[in-house]
Amino acid sequence: MKSNIRRLGKRFSFAVFKLTIIMAGLFFLAACAEVPVTKRKGLHIVPTSELLSLSFQQYDEVIKKSKLSTDQKKVQMVRAVGERIAKSAEAFLKDSGRGNQIANYKWDFNLIEDDKMVNAWCMPGGKVAVYTGILPYTQDETGLAVVMSHEVAHAIADHGNERMSQALLANMGGMALSVALANKPNQTRELSMAAFGAGATVGFLLPYSRLHESEADRIGLMFMARAGYDPREAIPFWERMNKKAGPKPPEFLSTHPAPESRIANIKTYIPDALPYYQKSLR
């Protein structure tokens, strides 16, 4: 009798184990979302509403703490290029059957006065900041379009959600964002800033992976081409960046593509983007 009960107990435990594995598999499948253009599946376990709420709140905080540029010519250039890229991205979403996602974007473009910061970023929901330190590298509107379209591509590809999801799994034991905010608000906010590309504290860095960077390069070229900017200008921009950036670590030691690899990849993406640019000239 006891042996039969033990056997039944083992079968029940095994059945529960199998069910747990199946449920976990279904959860991860359900949490996967497809990246536009590349069709890659990414893990997105953070609800869009929570992600956007956190993004908008943190963007407001960054802007309040930053010194915004008073150079109206440069500010207007950033906003003009940004608006063109935003319209291009929205048209892309419509054409790819993702028009319902447009409501999630509350576009805003700001130029932050910091000549030492060679950077730009776009938070989930279309909150974009460009630092004056990158303008000598962009040189003109088209160079700026390379940068801004690349950053907007990160947002459209939902890389922020993917990195935030990975951070929650790796550093907070898979804790839900709402629970993490309630239990560890400071650490969660720092994680999200890093995940959104706007900062990295907490003792570690969450840079975009080489895969994310390549996807943003590829999608960004299409955005700038649709907006009427020549995608071929991405090559001289990255050549300028690489020339002035100084020594780079080997590609396998860096999350960013090596300069030569990045430019070589961009050259292979340009033929797909060029027809959109040529169409915009008609």
State the total domains in the chain.
1
C-alpha count within 13 angstroms, C-beta hemisphere, residue 119 = 12
- Segment 119-125 shows an average pLDDT of 92
Average pLDDT over residues 218-222: 97
The whole-number pLDDT of residue 163 equals 85
Domain assignment of residue 249, given as a range: 47-280
Name the token pair of 76: 């207007």
Residue 170 belongs to a domain = yes
6 within some domain:
no
SS3 123: strand
Among the residue ranges 13-17, 21-25, 171-175, 177-181, the one predicted with the least confidence is 21-25
Per-residue pLDDT, averaged over 62-79, amounts to: 97
Report percent pLDDT > 70 for the chain: 72
In a domain, residue 199? The reply is: yes
Mean pLDDT of the region 111-124:
93
Residue 263 lies in a domain: yes
Residue 260 confidence class, pLDDT cut points 50, 70, 90: confident
pLDDT in tens, 171-192: 666 666 667 666 666 777 667 6
Residue 108, pLDDT score: 98
CA-CA distance, 201 to 125, in Å (whole number)?
22
Residue 243 has pLDDT above 50, yes or no: yes
pLDDT band at 17 (very low <50, low <70, confident <90, very high): very low
Q: What is the mean pLDDT of residues 259-282?
A: 94
Higher-pLDDT residue of 262 and 10 is 262
Looking at residue 180, what is its pLDDT?
A: 64
Give the per-residue pLDDT at 34. 87
What mean pLDDT value characterizes the chain?
82
Residue 17 lies in a domain: no
Q: Which two tokens stand for residue 103?
A: 């409501």
Q: Which residues contact 166 (CB under 8 A, 6 or more apart)?
A: 43
Residue 80 CA to residue 227 CA, distance in Å, equals 11
Q: Establish if 37 belongs to a structural domain.
A: no
Instruction: Answer with the residue of higher pLDDT: 267 or 165.
Output: 267
69 located within any domain: yes
Q: How far apart are CA 30 and CA 22, in angstroms?
A: 12
Average pLDDT over residues 186-202: 62
Inside any domain, residue 154: yes
Q: With cut-offs at 50, 70 and 90, classify the pLDDT of residue 204.
A: very low
Query: What pLDDT score does 269 carry?
Result: 97
Residues 194 and 200 sit within 8 Å (Cβ to Cβ): yes
* Nearest alpha carbon to residue 253 among 210, 201, 194, 206: 210
